[in-house]
Amino acid sequence: MQDKDDLVEAIRQTLAECAQLAVDVTTLADTDDLYDAGLTSLNTVNLMLAVEDCFDCEFPEEMLARETFQSIHAIAEAVRTMRT
């Protein structure tokens, strides 16, 4: 089980690989708005699949909303919720 920093780092890695943001992921704070950073709804789908692969989990229906992918922090919270 990864600790908090590893979790966030893995999410940052996933974002850099698949989200096609308009800015460098390393310049983003954990709470910065990813949509403002150029995340599109279609890339959200790619991001969702990549997060599921990375953490071997599946987002339930009620989590499949814009807010879940709003920031690195929000994604980390979602992953933690799915793990519990």
Q: Which residues bind another protein (CB under 8 A)?
A: 22-23, 33, 35-42, 44-45, 48-49, 59-62, 64-67
CB of 61 to another protein, least distance (A): 4
* Identity of the residue, 2 or 49, whose beta carbon is nearer to another protein in the bound complex: 49
Name residue 45's amino acid: V
CB of 48 to another protein, least distance (A): 5
For 45, the token pair is: 């789908």
* Identity of the residue, 6 or 36, whose beta carbon is nearer to another protein in the bound complex: 36
Q: What CA–CA distance (Å, rounded) separates 41 from 61?
A: 16
Nearest residue to 2 (alpha-carbon basis) of 77, 63, 55, 58: 55
Name residue 68's amino acid: T
